[in-house]
């Protein structure tokens, strides 16, 4: 069946939103190279995201809901602090110590971690396709990390790896818990609330070291760029595009973040891109596709049983 122009436009804007996430990593590295600290980058990035997201909410008054009714704000606060904002914290810490291309590979371990969380929730073992997806993604990660290259293990910054894997765990928690929140809030308002609660925690932890002094205006510029790429533009694109193409295709299109991040790191900050990196990234993308296929089959099977 021939798809409409609006369908393909939705596909393009979802791809654009995912690509924004991919460009985020080398931009953070450039901010570090400009002399700004982890505290300055993280607080400005999340703080400006909060301001911009609430501005989007104010521009859509028809979708306003009381955010504090029925106590569901508590769950939004938990997800915002321990999922959304801790992911930014751990990921920025990883980017301090690792290459941008490897950091995004570590973040993408959220794929198999989320599978395991879902299996724990419904108390079953992973299915064959899910295990295959995990195995392929893990093999791709080892290749992309360069562990099979000469002195691959010796040159590895394991603290940075720990931060990268921690960001994958918290991002998995964000995805997993967000799916369990039953609320009629508009997605942009949900994002604004989550980010706001997270910012309060981040400001308490790192706010004292976030002032950039004479370079504050420059830091505000970096923070605005990171907020747009990491929060605002993806939120607009996903909210506009996903309802028209479905979450299944959107999750596959979202995987474009990985190659975009790697290519952006190669173009913008001259990170090396070996054949092992490329093969590893392809394997991770295959793993994501297999995982999505398995999830779709499970959904279809469940719907048939309910009928």
Per-residue pLDDT reduced to its tens digit, 86-143: 999 999 999 999 888 888 888 888 878 887 887 888 788 877 777 887 788 778 777 7
pLDDT for 46 beyond 90: yes
Quick one: pLDDT at residue 266? 87
Residue 2 binned pLDDT confidence (cut-offs 50, 70, 90): low
Distance CA 293, CA 181 (A): 24
Residue boundaries of the structural domains of the chain: 13-306
Residue 176 binned pLDDT confidence (cut-offs 50, 70, 90): confident
Longest dimension (CA), the chain: 65
| Percent of residues in the chain assigned helix, strand, coil, to nearest 5 | 80, 0, 20
User: Which ranges in 108-254 belong to alpha helices (H)?
Assistant: 110-122, 128-145, 158-178, 187-206, 216-227, 233-245, 247-254
Residue 10 binned pLDDT confidence (cut-offs 50, 70, 90): confident
pLDDT for 225 beyond 80: yes
Contact 70, 86 (CB under 8 A): no
The pTM score is 0.84
């Amino acid at each position: 069946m021939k798809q409409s122009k609006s369908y393909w436009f939705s596909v393009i804007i979802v791809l654009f939103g995912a690509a924004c996430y991919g460009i985020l990593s080398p931009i953070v590295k450039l901010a570090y190279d400009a002399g700004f600290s982890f505290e300055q980058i993280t607080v400005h990035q999340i703080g400006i995201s909060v301001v911009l997201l609430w501005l989007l909410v104010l521009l859509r008054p028809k979708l306003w809901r009381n955010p504090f009714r029925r106590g569901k704000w508590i769950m939004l606060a938990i997800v915002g602090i321990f999922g959304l904002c801790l992911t930014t914290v751990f990921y920025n810490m990883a980017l301090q110590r690792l290459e941008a291309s490897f950091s995004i590979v570590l973040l993408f371990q959220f794929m198999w971690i989320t599978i395991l969380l879902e299996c724990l929730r419904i108390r079953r073992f992973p299915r064959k396709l899910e295990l295959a997806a995990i195995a392929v993604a893990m093999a791709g990660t080892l290749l992309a990390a360069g562990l099979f290259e000469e002195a691959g293990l010796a040159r590895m910054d394991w603290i940075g790896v720990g931060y990268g894997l921690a960001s994958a765990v918290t991002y998995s928690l964000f995805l997993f818990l967000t799916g369990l929140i039953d609320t009629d809030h508009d997605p942009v308002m949900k994002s604004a609330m989550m980010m706001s609660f997270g910012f309060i925690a981040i400001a308490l932890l790192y706010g004292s070291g976030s002032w950039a002094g004479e370079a504050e205006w420059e830091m505000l510029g970096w923070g605005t760029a990171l907020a747009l790429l990491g929060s605002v533009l993806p939120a607009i694109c996903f909210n506009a595009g996903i309802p028209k193409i479905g979450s299944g295709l959107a999750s596959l299109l979202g995987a474009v973040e990985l190659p975009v991040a790697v290519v952006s790191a190669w173009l913008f900050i001259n990170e090396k891109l070996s054949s092992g990196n490329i093969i590893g990234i392809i394997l991770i993308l295959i793993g994501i596709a297999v995982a999505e296929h398995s999830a779709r089959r499970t959904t279809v099977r469940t719907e048939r049983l309910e009928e």
